[in-house]
């Protein structure tokens, strides 16, 4: 075995010994309490119908985009969709990327220059972290949602300053104090970047997100809205000024050096937004969240306070979290354990996602099974 193969094998073995080896699996059909398909759009027959009808209006339909947006891959429908989404979110402009990961690495790495400062909440998504790593800026983190620590870092920051937060945190499900952070950003002339991946469809009028729910559209430098969660599609948009859009078209490498999304993907995204505009799902999803929380009330089950679709059950080690997930799966409930290093060591957990299509009885069954599990 050559040295590279030896290296690979030893890294995998180390993970296996710790019980944290990641493997791909396709599970049998269980009741979904783990996917990000919060509104059931990924499985929606209505979305398929609207999307198919929209596609028939595209005259020069091709199976693939055939190149980067800057070469052959651009389509007027994509640009119209970008502007329609920007209008929906009360933003001046928007630029679609092939995924949320691409959007975050492209945005952060192209913006922040040597001598600039990035200050990020310690719990931000890996894609934002990787974007910061790819930049040459000075990087700092602050304790989760800790305004004092953020302000201390702001006081000593240099150059253009970018603050990275999520409106709803992907693994904890809690809110960022965006209004307060936004005030600090104004005070210190920092630029606030908010990832709304887990807020779209759930919060704000017509599910437009937390920034709009708080009326902060004008105060946020850039928003990232992803289409792979509540929208049930794939891709993401960066919302901001027209200048920012033009800048990203020129400098964001994950936008420039990749084949554009195929037009059928864009029609699905466009159609999913048509569904958000037609129906406000936020009250219906709120009912599911309230039901789950009310059933869990007065139990000793350790959780992180959350009013979003993302709920947690905390364990302090890998084995207990894995065993809990396996037990629930054996009862027909698709709940997954989230292990370190995705979350901090000792903060392993079940990540329970609530959906519009989860019946009240399924949620009751889940909580009954959770009550039977062992907690320290
Ligand atoms: C907060 C957050 N941002 C960005 C992403 C990446 O989005 P995508 O899955 O579209 O690459 C995710 C999803 O994993 C996420 O949870």
| 148-170 per-position pLDDT tens digit | 999 999 999 999 999 999 999 99
- Cβ proximity of 254 and 108 under 8 Å: no
**CA nearest to 285, candidates 198, 176, 225:** 198
For the segment(s) 281-372, the CATH number from 1.20.1440.230, 3.90.1150.10, 3.30.300.20, 3.30.70.1450 is 3.90.1150.10
**CA nearest to 103, candidates 214, 310, 262, 261:** 261
Q: Is the pLDDT of residue 25 over 80?
A: yes
| 72-129 per-position pLDDT tens digit | 999 999 999 999 999 999 999 999 999 999 999 999 999 999 999 999 999 999 999 9
If you average pLDDT over residues 174-201, what whole number do you get? 98
Straight-line distance from the first to the last Cα atom of the chain, in angstroms, rounded to the nearest whole number = 44
| Strands of the 310-314 sheet, one edge to the other | 310-314, 349-353, 336-338
From the CA of 100, how far away is ligand 1's center (Å)? 5
Would you kindly state where each structural domain of the chain is located, as residue ranges?
46-278, 281-372
From the CA of 357, how far away is ligand 1's center (Å)? 22
Probe residue for ligand 1, chosen from 104, 105, 127 as the CB with the greatest number of ligand atoms within 8 Å: 127
Closest ligand 1 atom to residue 101 Cα is 11
Percent of the chain at pLDDT exceeding 70 = 100
Indicate if ligand 1 lies below 6 Å from the C-beta of 195: yes
- CATH number for the segment(s) 46-278: 3.40.640.10
| 253-294 per-position pLDDT tens digit | 999 999 999 999 999 999 999 999 999 999 999 999 999 999
Label residue 374 by pLDDT band (50, 70, 90).
confident
The residue whose CA is least distant from atom 9 of ligand 1 is 100
Question: What DSSP string runs through 37-102?
Answer: -TTSGGG-HHHHHHHHHHHHT-TT--SS--S-TTTT---HHHHHHHHHHHHHTT-SEEEEESSHHH
Label residue 26 by pLDDT band (50, 70, 90).
confident
């Amino acid at each position: 075995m050559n040295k590279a193969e030896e290296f690979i094998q030893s890294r995998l073995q180390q993970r296996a010994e710790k019980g944290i080896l990641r493997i791909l699996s396709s599970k049998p059909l269980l009741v979904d309490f783990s996917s990000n398909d919060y509104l059931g759009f990924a499985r929606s027959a209505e979305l398929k119908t609207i999307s198919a009808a929209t596609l028939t209006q595209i005259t020069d339909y091709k199976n693939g985009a055939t190149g980067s947006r800057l070469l052959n891959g651009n389509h007027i429908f994509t640009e119209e969709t970008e502007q329609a989404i920007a209008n929906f979110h009360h933003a001046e402009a928007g630029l679609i990327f092939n995924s949320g990961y691409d959007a975050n690495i492209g945005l952060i790495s192209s913006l922040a220059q040597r001598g600039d400062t990035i200050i990020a909440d310690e719990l931000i998504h890996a894609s934002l972290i990787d974007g910061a790593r790819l930049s040459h800026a000075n990087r700092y983190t602050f304790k989760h949602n800790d305004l004092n620590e953020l302000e201390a870092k702001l006081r000593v920051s240099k150059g253009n300053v970018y603050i990275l937060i999520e409106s709803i945190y992907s693994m904890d499900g809690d809110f960022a104090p965006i209004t307060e952070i936004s005030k600090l950003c104004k005070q210190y002339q920092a630029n606030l970047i908010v990832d709304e991946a887990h807020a779209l469809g759930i919060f704000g009028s017509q599910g437009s997100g937390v920034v709009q729910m708080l009326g902060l559209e004008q105060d946020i430098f850039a928003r990232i809205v992803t289409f792979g969660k509540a929208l049930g599609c794939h891709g993401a948009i960066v919302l901001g000024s027209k200048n920012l859009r033009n800048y990203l078209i020129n400098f964001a490498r994950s936008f420039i050096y990749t084949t554009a999304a195929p037009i059928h993907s864009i029609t699905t995204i466009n159609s999913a937004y048509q569904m958000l505009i037609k129906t406000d799902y936020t009250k219906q999803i709120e009912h599911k969240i309230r039901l789950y929380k009310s059933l869990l009330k007065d139990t000793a089950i350790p959780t992180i306070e959350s009013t979003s679709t993302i709920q947690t059950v905390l364990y302090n080690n890998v084995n207990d979290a894995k065993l809990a997930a396996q037990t629930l799966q054996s009862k027909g409930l698709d709940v997954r354990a989230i292990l370190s290093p995705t979350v901090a060591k000792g903060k392993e957990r079940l990540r329970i996602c609530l959906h519009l299509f989860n019946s009240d009885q399924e949620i009751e069954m889940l909580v009954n099974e959770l009550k039977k599990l062992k907690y320290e």
